[in-house]
DNA sequence: ATGAAAGCGCTAACAG
DNA sequence: CTGTTAGCGCTTTCAT
């Protein structure tokens, strides 16, 4: 690889001039500039960003770290982030922690050691507060989807609002016995949605029955198992609310296996989308993932540009998508 | 951020000793080591990888650059790469080119300027050969899924074999009139699969009719449009083969909209998986994506360790997944 | 407008 | 075993 030194030598100027030619062309005489540029072209010289970053103490890069890159929700957050970031001339590094706290930590360390300027951060579930490394690093970051408290810029979905859309839809259609397949009470996200269900069941005058409430991990398996439980125990719900797409997928599989037609025999509504090939489509709320990623990144860029101010939190409203076909 | 200098000062030693304590602990006296480590802990010092990389001329990082991160096939390649890479102590940077050649070029430049050591490369469709920047960079790379010629380590799916599995399955079930919804003839991948269809139609004694052959972009829209064409023109195929998941998705949507029950009225088989929520499931072949990503990365690591030898190409056999429910 | 020189944080001879 | 020093490739005063 050619270095700035090589270019300088071949152009018969000092390295300083080459550097200027690249970073502030107007500050070098037209003729010298021409000579330098021609050498740059000839050698396909490209400045070593490591060296540059080391010198200027900023890498013009940010990372987005997500728990599960195969989750369409996270994916769209990434896409949103990527869009505003590349427009701002930053490079985006994507890291997948696979819902694994250890791996998250390793990734964080690595990113920080590589001197990223900022971070769009979707924490692994188990973390209830900012990892120590991150706190010490003191780089701008914005937390997305899973809150870590009021100390950081945060972009969230309105979970309560989302559950409300789903339940009010079911209530309007005349359902009274609506079961919940929820996430873990130990995670903030799981608890928040479950709690919303509990509160809203009353508001919409649905049957308030603890046996209708099931919770487990945010996995397909848990969704499958909890759905079976509901049926096996003869609880005969008219409708089921799953608070995450993985839970919904598992539940749908279980119902189908048990011979229930969804939604004819049993209506299923889901928080998050399940893919548009499910036929007939499932009523669900969709988080504004792309927009959330974009907004988070805008916040981040502001901080990177030195904008001060206390941490902000913004809530995005999930959007309701009705299945065209209704329960008969 | 603390630097190695700070640590040295606080521990009352030279920076060299600190460096040794980190990179070759056995080479420093136990007592000094203890003293240094304690300071490191106290200050949560972490070596600046930019500086280290600049010095040692290797960044211990590789990138995987994919055309579409929301494609499950690409996603699994990433996961496979990630697994073997992190085991080898490398950091993986994921870049999404969004099937956009310009964006790919920008990403490549950026990655190279950041001194990545190697690359797992799934080229954007339109590229028929290695981009100039990459060729000049002379870093180890392995091409996946879309061949760029015999000059590089390459990991591919056996497209011919995959199509063969699908067509022989249809033939065995007694279908004779099998239409093709294929990708663009202008892309190597599209052409290869279409050509396989043409050859194999004869082998399996299926109807050899040019009107049954349609091709377009690898998009949902194209799949939808081509499927409609087949129906609108009264070609009455007994079965349809879509050569990519996006084409399959589009076709399935079209058939459903037109009132066809799949597979009862019309069987659809697809190259690549369409998600396991499609009900009833669609017969398809699945590429060994995870394994391909892993293998590609193993090749790459070998090259990074200096293993010489001429470029290798390995072909992975797609696997057939039968829908449980058969056409009646 | 241009060059010399210092330094970003680290590693690796080399000397002792 | 430890310290001194040069240098990775670049930017940026400070002179000229």
Give the three-state DSSP class for B125: coil
Cβ neighbours of A61 in B, within 8 Å: 114
Residue B324: inside a domain: no
Task: State the pLDDT confidence band at B327, using cuts at 50, 70 and 90.
Answer: very low
- Asked if B75 and A72 come within 8 Å (Cβ–Cβ), the reply is no
Of A29, A55, A81, the residue that ends a domain is A55
B109/B216 same-domain check? no
DSSP string, B263-326: TTTSEEEEES---TT-SSPPEEEE--HHHHHHHHHHHHHHHHTT------EEEEPPEEE--SS-
B277 to chain A, any CB pair closer than 8 A? The answer is yes
C1' of nucleotide D2: residue with nearest CA: B17
What are the backbone dihedrals phi and psi of residue B64, each rounded to the nearest 5 degrees, phi first? -115, 130
A185/A230 same-domain check? yes
Q: How far is CA A242 from CA A69, A182, A220, B146, in A?
A: 21, 6, 11, 40
Largest CA distance in chain B: 87
What residue of B is the nearest CA neighbor of A62?
A: B93
Nucleotides of strand D lying closer than 7 angstroms to a protein CB: 1-5, 7-13
DSSP string, B131-179: -HHHHHHT--EEEESS---TTSEEEEE-HHHHHHHHHHHHHHTT---EE
Q: What is the pLDDT of residue A324?
A: 65
Q: How far is CA B5 from the centre of its chain?
A: 43
A97/A128 same-domain check? yes
Say how many Å lie between the first and final Cα of chain B, rounded.
70
B203/B134 same-domain check? no
Query: Please, are residues A43 and A10 in contact by the beta-carbon 8 Å criterion?
Result: yes
A170/A276 same-domain check? yes
Query: Please, are residues B228 and B253 in contact by the beta-carbon 8 Å criterion?
Result: no
Among residues 32-61 of chain B, which lie with CB inside 8 Å of chain A?
A: 44, 46-51, 53-54, 59, 61
Which nucleotide's C1' sits nearest to the alpha carbon of B113? D9
B141/B26 same-domain check? no
Q: What angle do CA B174, B180, B185 make, to 5 degrees?
A: 150
pLDDT mean over B114-130:
89
Residue B323: inside a domain: no
Residue A321: inside a domain: no
Distance CA A170, CA B272 (A): 36
What's the CATH code of the domain at A262? 3.40.50.2300
- Among A72, A103, A275, beta carbon nearest to B277: A275
Give the three-state DSSP class for B74: helix
What residue of B is the nearest CA neighbor of A103?
A: B86
- Asked if B69 and A69 come within 8 Å (Cβ–Cβ), the reply is yes
Looking at residue B117, the DSSP 8-state letter turns out to be S
B142/B101 same-domain check? yes
A72/A142 same-domain check? yes
Number of compact structural domains in chain B: 3
Task: State the pLDDT confidence band at B128, using cuts at 50, 70 and 90.
Answer: confident
**B1 Cβ neighbours under 8 A, 6+ residues apart:** A137, B46, B48
Q: Could you read off the pLDDT of B69-78 as tens digits, one per residue?
A: 988 899 999 9
Residue A327: inside a domain: no
Q: How far is CA B218 from CA B101, B245, B257, B285, in A?
A: 16, 9, 20, 17
Residue A312: inside a domain: yes
A101/A199 same-domain check? no
B106/B26 same-domain check? no
Dihedral Cα B294, B296, B298, B302, nearest 10 deg: -170
Least confident of A268-277, B138-147, B287-296: A268-277
Query: Please, are residues A95 and A111 in contact by the beta-carbon 8 Å criterion?
Result: yes
Domain that holds residue B267: 159-287
Kindly determine whether the C-beta of residue B17 is less than 7 Å away from any atom of nucleic acid strand D. yes
Q: How far is the CA of B12 from the C1' of D3 (A)?
A: 12
Q: What is the pLDDT of residue B281?
A: 86
Q: How far is the CA of A115 from the C1' of C15 (A)?
A: 35
A69/A45 same-domain check? no
Q: How far is CA A38 from CA A11, A41, B109, B131, in A?
A: 9, 5, 19, 21
Q: Could you read off the pLDDT of B192-244 as tens digits, one per residue?
A: 999 999 999 999 999 999 999 999 999 999 999 999 999 999 988 999 999 99
Residue A328: inside a domain: no
Residue A16: inside a domain: yes
Residue B325: inside a domain: no
Cβ neighbours of A95 in B, within 8 Å: 94
pLDDT tens for the 328 residues of chain A, in order:
899 999 999 999 999 999 999 999 999 999 999 999 999 999 999 999 999 999 999 999 999 999 999 888 999 999 999 999 999 999 999 999 998 999 999 999 999 999 999 999 999 976 678 999 999 999 999 999 988 888 999 999 999 999 999 999 999 999 999 999 999 998 888 999 999 999 999 999 999 999 999 999 999 999 999 999 999 999 989 999 999 999 999 999 999 999 999 889 999 999 998 877 777 789 999 999 999 999 999 999 999 999 999 999 999 999 999 976 443 3
Distance CA A305, CA A4 (A): 29
Give the three-state DSSP class for B64: strand
B8/B85 same-domain check? no
Q: Mark B146-172 as b/e (b = at least 16 C-beta within 10 Å).
A: bbbeeebbbbbbbbbbbbbbbbebbbe
pTM metric for this prediction: 0.91
> SS3 for A243-294, per residue?
CCHHHHHHHHHHHHHCCCCCCCCCEEEEECCCCCCCCCCCEEEECCHHHHHH
**A255 Cβ neighbours under 8 A, 6+ residues apart:** A227, A231, A240, A262, A265, A266, A268
H/E segment holding residue B96: strand B91-96
> SS3 for chain A, per residue?
CCCHHHHHHHHCCCHHHHHHHHHCHHHCCHHHHHHHHHHHHHHCCCCCHHHHHHHHCCCCEEEEEECCCCCHHHHHHHHHHHHHHHHCCCEEEEEECCCCHHHHHHHHHHHHHCCCCEEEECCCCCCCCCCHHHHHHCCCEEEECCCCCCCCEEEEECHHHHHHHHHHHHHHCCCCCEEEEECCCCCHHHHHHHHHHHHHHHHCCCCCCHHHEEECCCCHHHHHHHHHHHHHCCCCCCEEEECCHHHHHHHHHHHHHCCCCCCCCCEEEEECCCCCCCCCCCEEEECCHHHHHHHHHHHHHHHHCCCCCCCCEEEECCEEECCCCCCC
Query: Please, are residues A266 and A238 in contact by the beta-carbon 8 Å criterion?
Result: yes
Give the three-state DSSP class for B260: coil
Sheet hosting strand A313-316, strand order edge to edge: A313-316, A153-157, A141-144, A118-121, A61-66, A91-96, B91-96, B61-66, B118-121, B141-144, B153-157, B313-316
Q: How far is the CA of B57 from the C1' of D8 (A)?
A: 8
Task: State the pLDDT confidence band at B328, using cuts at 50, 70 and 90.
Answer: very low
B91 to chain A, any CB pair closer than 8 A? The answer is yes
> B118: which strand partners?
B62
Q: What is the pLDDT of residue B324?
A: 65
What's the CATH code of the domain at A18? 1.10.260.40
């Amino acid at each position: 690889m050619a270095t700035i030194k090589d270019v300088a030598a071949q152009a018969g100027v000092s390295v300083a001039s080459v550097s200027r030619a690249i970073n502030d062309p107007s500050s070098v005489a037209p003729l010298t500039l021409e000579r330098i540029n021609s050498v740059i072209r000839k050698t396909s010289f490209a400045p070593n960003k490591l060296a540059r970053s080391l010198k200027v103490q900023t890498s013009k890069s940010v990372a987005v770290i997500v728990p599960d890159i195969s989750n369409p929700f996270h994916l769209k957050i990434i896409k949103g982030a990527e869009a505003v970031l590349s427009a701002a001339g930053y490079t985006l590094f994507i890291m997948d922690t696979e819902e694994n706290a250890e791996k998250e930590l390793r990734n964080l360390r690595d990113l920080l050691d590589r001197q990223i300027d900022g971070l769009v951060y979707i924490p692994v579930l188990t973390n209830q507060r900012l990892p120590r490394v991150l706190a010490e690093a003191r780089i701008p970051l914005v937390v997305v989807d899973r809150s870590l408290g009021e100390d950081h810029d945060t972009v969230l979905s309105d979970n309560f609002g989302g559950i409300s859309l789903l339940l009010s839809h079911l209530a309007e259609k005349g359902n009274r016995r609506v079961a919940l397949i929820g996430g873990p009470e130990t995670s903030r996200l799981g608890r928040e949605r479950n709690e919303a269900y509990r509160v809203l069941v009353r508001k919409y005058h649905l049957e308030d029955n603890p046996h209708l409430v099931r919770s487990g991990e945010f996995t397909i398996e848990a969704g499958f198992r909890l759905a079976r439980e509901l049926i096996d125990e003869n609880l005969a719900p008219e409708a089921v609310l799953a608070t995450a797409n993985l839970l919904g997928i598992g539940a749908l599989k279980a119902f189908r296996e048990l011979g229930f037609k969804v939604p004819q025999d049993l209506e299923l509504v889901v928080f998050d989308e399940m893919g548009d090939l499910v036929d007939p489509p499932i009523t669900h709320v969709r988080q504004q993932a792309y927009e959330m990623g974009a907004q988070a990144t805008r916040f981040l860029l502001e901080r990177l540009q030195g904008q001060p101010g206390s941490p902000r939190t913004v809530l995005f409203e999930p959007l309701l998508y009705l299945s065209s076909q209704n329960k008969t």
